[in-house]
Chain A
Amino acid sequence: MIKYNSGIRKTDVINRRMFIIGAAKVIIFTGIVARLFSLQINENKKYLTLSDKNRIREWKLPPTRGNIVDYFGNVIAGNLKVYQLHIIPEQVENFNYLLVRLKNLLNLSDIKIARINKLKAELKPWDSIIVSENLSWSQFVKINNYLYDLVGVKPVMTISRNYPFKDVYTHVLGYVSQPNEKEILDNQIIQERFVPGMKIGKLGLEKRLENHLIGTNAIQRYEVNAYGKRINQLEHQKGQQGSKIRLTVDTEIQKACAELLNEKAGSISVMDIYTGDIIAMYSSPSYDPNLFLFGISQDEWQLIRNNPLKPLINKTLSGLYSPGSTIKPIVALSALENNVIDTKFKVKCTGKMELYGQTFHCWKEKGHGWVSLKNAMKQSCDTYFYEVARLLGVDRLNITAEKFGLGKKVLGKYFDIEKKGLFPNTKWKKNNLGRGWVLGETLITGIGQGYIQSTPLQLCMMTAQIANGGYAIKPKIIVDSNPVSYEDAKQSMESGLLFDSNSESLLDKKLFKDKKNIKIIQEAMFSSTNERFGTSYKSRIDDPKYQFAGKTGTAQVKRISKRERELDLELEQIPYKDRDHALYVAYGPYINPRYALSIIVEHGGSGSKAAAPIAKKLFKLIIDRHDLRDQQSNFERITI
């Protein structure tokens, strides 16, 4: 009985204790259900997002760059479909066999094969290796023919930058290529949109307008597993092509410039004298920017780099030249404006001028005799301008020259390679060279030699501002959102409407004191080209439709020794490096002028022989295309 009682008592204890546990169990299970509720119901959104973040990954594709078009809408920097060859390592059965096959089919180099093997080791097996960025059509066809045997190879069609006019626009557009680390880090937009294989502007407008041209990435969304492997594609979001940029340039004229300067070093700029539109801007020699798209070969690069004519330098914007006699219109204008001389003022040229025991030679050894302003300009008499410069002084000349744009950047913000040149004055010499100005330096400044340095584009703008009657223009190469039509610009300049405004900046547009003086210079430039004994008389066009006015220049690149002067060598007898630069500035048509140009042929000899004939050939084309250009004025415009 005791045992029985004990059994009963034990059962009671067990049951009582079980009850306590049972209660605990209910509480704990309730707790777990509460936790489930909080995770699955309350925080469901949060975890659903996290789960999507886990499984969905985005792949950015390279953005498509915007096109650059010329004034007439011709694409000058566009996009081309290219065929690429990718290998997906995980799909390849026998990698070495595949490489041998590809090597034979595409003539791959051993270095390339080694690079592919290196990439294969670095990348995940499902990441594609780009074997060839730019297959030719025949290679592409070949690959497609053998595709059954090339397991794991994927021919891909993609888009690449293309410059259809090759070297014609290189110095304007620049080119695109793969960015380096610094370029990615420096530009927020590139950083955001960067994907391997993407190209960015390296030079010129391609670089300057990067943020407009770049476009947005297309995005592909894939479901991936925990190891990052793509399982299936969920979505494809199209990217937006970069903005289209319209330039003021005319491809026909640009092409003509390139032909005219073929195999010469030099530059041609053509500008609308009212709107400041740059019609052409060519630096010779140039190079094909398409070479840089897929990485230039060492040989090709050395060929460009070592060319003695220096194709890598943009001579129009960063070539600094003594303007030579092309400065004479400004010297004469400055003297007239400062009432130093008038049209009747005459100087007797004996072929040289003595000053403090130093001899200053005129280009014509025998001298020009008594010359007035018009004759001095026409025959480019140096003695006359020595005397005028002496009377005027360099500081007053400097003020006029800077008004007309010398010593200042012309396009400034668009090209960081642009140089501002130099127009000296006494203060400049004191500050920079620490010595006082010498009168002899004034004389040689008067014929565009000495310290004075200018870019071809500056000379073009200078000429344009003389041609339009002496009004400041703001040169531009991109058609902006609010363009002033040529008629408006011309009318406002001629009617003087501009000056009714109180705006100071508009007042600044007037570069002269007396309009008569500009007219005198224009007439002098006309005679230089269109009258007998004028330096560019041989290059004249008699048809008033094409008739132009200009001024030749011959810039010495070294001091001419007495011996050399006596020898009076022919051009071919002088070493290339020592030959003078040939310059020519002009505008036309003389009646109702529209365009100004500047031509420089490096080491071309005299301006009248080497530079002026180019202008003759060019002006016909420029003026023939004038009407076409006018019809294009209401073309769609892009905001920059």
Chain B
Amino acid sequence: MFQHDRLNNEITFFQKIKNLDYILLISVILLSVLSVFVMYSTDGGDILFHTKNHFVKLVVFFPLMIFVALFNIKFWHNFSYLIYLVVILLLVWVSFFGIKSSGSQRWMDVYFFVLQPSELMKIAIIMCLAKYYHRLKIENVNSYTSITIVLSIILIPTIFVVSQPDLGTSILIALSGLIILWLGGVKIKYFIYSFITFLISLPFIISFLKPYQKLRILTFLDPDRDPLGAGYQIIQSKIAIGSGGLDGKGFLKGTQSYLDFLPEKHTDFIFTLFSEEFGFIGSVGLLILYSIIIFRIIRIGSISRSNFARLFCFGYAFAIFIYIVVNLSMVLGLLPIVGSPLPIMSYGGSSMLATMIGFGIVLSAKINHKQMIA
């Protein structure tokens, strides 16, 4: 074991750079560049507030990703619990002193940046559970103690985020956590049983939802019941995407977007604008780009020696996948509207920060894929 450690410590800076996964890196750069152009289009073909901020964030967070990657994966393993705890503390702090905006309390002001800790939790929970299953003996995976512990690890942040309230992010956190349970080897029947229980208790859950959340579900089931009110977003979104056609209306020519018919076009509905301007071809192209990223992350996971790295990569790949699926299903009218950004594309610092940190850890796993962790 010692030998391995020493061996890895000998990797020089240049070797680290050389060992970065360039396919992943290029894909992320491509996505970033694309996102700046799309943001430029949401600003009506002008470099305004959103474009500028988005660009600045990319310029700051991209090096941060490399910086994260330069740390040994073992370092991230060692600090996983701590990071999780710190983010939990931030969530607690936000629930007391956070900034309120449009009815929810999710943000904290860190002077140069407004941070949304729930976004960081999306990464932290994967790290935490990956470490837990890395250390857990396979015999104990299905023991009641371990199940109770992992469920608590998932539930605590989820409850904080739900109470902000932020249903979308909390679902993403819970799903990110559950996938590690799945990968860790929790019995399939448990998943099946809990899924059945979930279905049965769905009516009760719905009765606990806030009125606006119930409205969203009703609207999802029938957007035309209130076309100018609750159904407006989804109807306009579908019109934008549908009118894009095969090759789109052209860059900066999305009428739905620049005539302000699209709501939230910078954030959750950014895909709508993209799809309107670049059409089916562009949309599928974007999905392929995302698929390449996901595939690379899975590949890095599968060559990793340590189960921590493997679990993190698989979990993170799944998380990225889930973000995309939830966001696209929402704008395509396949799921009710829950706030969930499209990774990198959507405007929003915390989401981008978390995503970049995630990529950083994946790259770190790639650089140190031979690293064994005790």
Contact = CB atoms under 8 A, between A and B. Distances in A.
A14 B238 contact: no
A395 to B, nearest CB: 73
A29 interface: yes
B129 interface: no
Contact of B261 (A36, A54, A231): A54
A37 B243 contact: no
A223 B332 CA distance: 26
A630 interface: no
B324 to A, nearest CB: 8
Nearest to A46: B242
B332 A36 contact: yes
Contacts of A208: none
B261 to A, nearest CB: 5
B245 A14 contact: no
Interface string A544-570: 000000000000000000000000000
A55 B246 CA distance: 20
A48 interface: yes
A633 to B, nearest CB: 59
B325 interface: yes
A226 B138 contact: no
B167 interface: no
Interface string A11-34: 101110110011001001100110
A47 interface: yes
A227 B260 contact: yes
A9 B314 CA distance: 17
A44 B275 CA distance: 12
Contact of B246 (A28, A40, A50): A40
B301 A18 contact: yes
B172 interface: no
B179 interface: yes
B314 A18 contact: yes
B241 interface: yes
A50 B239 contact: yes
Contacts of A44: 242-246
Interface string B201-220: 00000000000000000000
Main secondary structure of the interface of B (DSSP, over half): helix
Interface in B248-302: 255-256, 259-261, 275, 279-280, 283-284, 287, 291, 294, 298, 301-302
B332 A51 contact: no
A32 B287 contact: yes
Contacts of B133: 10
Given A47-B241, A48-B242, A29 B307 contact: no
Interface in A48-63: 48, 50-51, 54-55
Contacts of B115: none
Interface residues of A, number: 38
B149 interface: no
Q: Choose among A22, A25, A227 the residue with the greatest number of B CB atoms under 10 Å from its CB.
A: A25
Nearest to B240: A51
A11 B259 contact: no
Nearest to A9: B138
A617 interface: no
Interface residues of B, number: 46
A40 B280 contact: yes
Interface string A175-188: 00000000000000
A51 B255 contact: yes
Given A36-B283, A40-B283, A47 B242 contact: yes
A55 B259 contact: yes
Contact of A14 (B139, B185, B239): B185
Given A32-B328, A41-B246, A54-B239, A225 B260 contact: yes
B71 interface: no
A6 B135 CA distance: 11
A35 interface: yes
A51 B298 contact: no
B280 A25 contact: no
Contact of B256 (A11, A39, A43, A51): A51
B239 A47 contact: yes
A13 B185 contact: yes
Nearest to A43: B242
A14 to B, nearest CB: 5
A197 interface: no
B245 A41 contact: yes
A18 B241 CA distance: 32
Given A9-B138, A36-B283, A44-B246, 17 more contacts: A6-B137, A10-B184, A14-B185, A17-B182, A17-B183, A33-B287, A37-B280, A40-B246, A44-B245, A51-B240, A54-B239, A54-B259, A224-B259, A225-B260, A225-B261, A226-B261, A231-B259
19 contacts: A10-B184, A10-B185, A14-B185, A14-B311, A18-B301, A21-B179, A21-B182, A39-B332, A40-B242, A41-B245, A44-B243, A46-B242, A47-B238, A47-B240, A48-B242, A50-B242, A51-B239, A223-B255, A225-B260
Top 4 A-B residue pairs of the complex, sorted by shortest distance between their CB atoms = A47-B242, A51-B243, A226-B260, A225-B259
Interface of B: 133, 137-139, 179, 182-185, 236, 238-246, 255-256, 259-261, 275, 279-280, 283-284, 287, 291, 294, 298, 301-302, 307, 310-311, 314, 318, 321, 325, 328-329, 332, 334
